[in-house]
């Protein structure tokens, strides 16, 4: 085996490990509840949770989305699909609050209206100082518009 081949295999192994760790973190950050395991297995195997966390769909729309994913190759039987939809509606439905301590950037931007720099500041702050306990804690984050925080406080849980 050439040095180049060994290097390519090493890089592929490192990338696989990094992806597996990211999938684990992504799944770990989902709220606990019935359906979490199947959502983590079926959805996060193909894409990160940010893809669905920002959508905020109603039940019919979630059924369409899950059906579309199954048609594209996601593996879930009818019972699993029902569990997925119930979970997605409960935690990521039209009126579901944002779980600020685990929300990815895209969810903070799309659902709560923060800018990309504000979203980055929120994620960095919670990484450096730990989870937020209440919406007022977001007011401590440098660069975050207090009016946006207050305007969306009812859409947040901690």
Give the pLDDT band (50/70/90) at residue 157: very high
For residues 137-145, give the mean pLDDT: 98
| pLDDT band, residue 25 (cuts 50/70/90) | confident
Tell me the C-alpha distance between 137 and 153, whole Å: 11
Ranges for all domains in the chain classified under CATH 1.10.150.280: 98-157
Across 27-132, the runs of DSSP E, i.e. the strands, are 98-99
What architecture (CATH level 2) is domain 98-157?
Orthogonal Bundle (1.10)
> Which regions of the chain carry the CATH code 1.10.760.10?
27-92
The length of the chain, given as a count of residues: 158
Does the pLDDT of residue 19 top 70, yes or no? no
Mean pLDDT of all residues in 71-97:
97
List phi, psi (to 5°) of 145. -70, 115
**Helix H or strand E encompassing 38:** helix 36-42
pLDDT at res. 3: 64
3-state secondary structure 5-71: HHHHHHHHHHHHHHHHHHHHHHHHCCCCCCCHHHHHHHCCCCCCCHHHHCCCECHHHHHHHHHHHHH
CATH architecture of 27-92: Orthogonal Bundle (1.10)
Taking a C-beta distance cutoff of 8 angstroms, is the pair 39, 30 a contact? yes
């Amino acid at each position: 085996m050439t040095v180049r081949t060994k290097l390519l295999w090493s890089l592929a192994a490192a990338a696989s490990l990094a992806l597996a760790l990211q999938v684990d973190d992504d799944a770990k950050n989902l709220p606990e509840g019935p359906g979490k395991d199947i959502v983590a297995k079926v959805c996060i195997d193909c894409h990160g949770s940010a893809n669905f966390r920002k959508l905020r769909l109603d039940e019919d729309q979630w059924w369409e989305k899950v059906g579309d994913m199954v048609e594209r190759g996601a593996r879930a039987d009818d019972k699993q699909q029902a569990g997925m939809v119930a979970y997605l509606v409960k935690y990521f439905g039209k009126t579901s609050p944002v779980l600020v301590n685990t929300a990815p950037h895209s969810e903070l931007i799309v659902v709560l209206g923060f800018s990309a720099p504000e979203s980055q500041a929120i994620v960095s702050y919670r990484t450096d100082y730990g989870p937020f306990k209440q919406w007022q804690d977001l007011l401590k984050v440098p660069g975050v518009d207090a009016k946006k925080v207050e305007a969306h406080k009812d859409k947040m849980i901690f």
